[in-house]
Amino acid sequence: MNTSIPKPSASSAFRIVPLPTEVAEEARNAAKFHAKDHAVITVDSPDGYPCRHCLRWAKPGEHVILFPYASVPRGHPYSETGPIFVHAEPCERYDITGEYPADFRNGRVFRAYDADYNMIDAEVADGVEPEEIIEKLFQNPRVRFVDARSVARGCFTFRILRA
Ligand SMILES: [Zn+2]
- Write the burial class of residue 127 (CB in 10 Å: 0-12 exposed, 13-18 middle, 19+ buried): exposed
pLDDT of 125 reads 80
Q: Are 50 and 58 in contact (CB under 8 A)?
A: yes
CA of 19 to the centre of ligand 1 (A): 10
CA of 141 to the centre of ligand 1 (A): 33
Q: Would you give the distance in Å from CA 143 to the centre of its chain?
A: 17
Amino acid 163: pLDDT: 92
What does the pLDDT profile of the chain (163 residues) look like in tens digits? 444 554 444 446 899 999 999 999 999 999 999 999 999 999 999 999 999 999 999 999 999 999 999 999 999 999 999 999 999 999 999 999 999 999 999 999 999 999 999 999 999 987 889 999 999 999 999 999 999 999 999 999 999 999 9
Residue 70 CA to ligand 1 center (angstroms) comes to 18
Helix (H) or strand (E) holding 35: none
Return the pLDDT at 126. Answer: 78
CA–centroid distance, 136 to ligand 1, in Å, is 29
- How many angstroms separate the CA atoms of 151 and 119, rounded? 16
Q: What is the pLDDT of residue 12?
A: 63
